[in-house]
Amino acid sequence: MAILPILETPDPLLRRVSTPVETITPELQTLIDDMFETMYAAPGIGLAAIQVGVPKRILVIDLQEPEEEGGEPVRNPLVFINPEILAESDTLQTYNEGCLSVPELYAEVERPDHIRARWLNRDGKVHEEELDGLLGICLQHEMDHLEGVLFIDHLSRLKRDMILRKLAKARKERLAA
């Protein structure tokens, strides 16, 4: 297992459209294991393969929500290969999103509040389910990565430019330090 470097905007790879997985090989299983290790270490609740530089339609998600208030987080690792959205609700929900590839910045993003999705799990078995709440949001955020889309693309031009300026400034300060 290995922790992989996470690409950050404006890395042009993050804008690539990822290609479908044709066969689930042992190499892909290793990549999936490494993606989980990388996501848990970050820490994050989701990760798309392109965020570690691999343009394939693979996502991992683990919301790590405590089963009860104040309890220890329970691990629930989910793998989504070649995910598709079959339907989405007209009703929207807003969530203060962040992204490991847009470090330290959060913004309110509006998305359908539930979706029907189909995907393959790590064994290649087909799943189809209605997803809502944070899992629905996270899957939509990760699926955007497969199309080269970042959460900041959903914001107004003004807000996005403000965020990109902040990022460039932080980067400059980091280099100067």
Site stretch for Ni ion (CB under 5 A), options 16-24, 70-78, 91-99, 120-128: 91-99
Q: Is 54 exposed, middle or buried (0-12, 13-18, 19+ CB in 10 A)?
A: middle
- Exposure string (b/e) for 105-119, b if CB count within 10 Å is 16 or more? bebebebbbbbebeb
62-101 residues near ligand GNR, rule: CB under 6 A: 95, 97-101
Selection from Ni ion, ligand GNR, none that 83 binds (CB < 5 to 8 A by kind) is none
| 45 contact choice in Ni ion, ligand GNR, none (CB below 5 to 8 Å, kind-dependent) | ligand GNR
Residues 5-44 that bind Ni ion (CB under 5 A): none
Peptide bond into 43 cis (omega under 30): yes
Q: Is 145 in the site for ligand GNR (CB under 6 A)?
A: yes
By a kind-dependent CB cut-off of 5 to 8 A, residue 138 interacts, out of Ni ion, ligand GNR, none, with ligand GNR
Rounded distance between C-alpha atoms, residue 151 and residue 143, angstroms? 11
Q: In whole angstroms, give the CA distance from residue 120 to residue 69.
A: 32
- DSSP E strands in 62-125: the ranges are 78-88, 92-99, 102-112, 114-120
Task: Check residue 45 for interaction with ligand GNR (CB under 6 A).
Answer: yes
> CA-to-CA distance for 139 and 160, rounded, in angstroms?
22
Q: Does 137 bind ligand GNR (CB under 6 A)?
A: yes
**What residues act catalytically?**
142
Residue with the two structure tokens 């691990």: 75
Give least dist CB 101 to Ni ion, A: 5
Provide the minimum distance between the beta carbon of 168 and ligand GNR in the complex, in angstroms, as a whole number: 19
Question: Min. distance of Cβ 51 from ligand GNR in angstroms?
Answer: 6
| Shortest CB 154 distance to ligand GNR, Å | 11
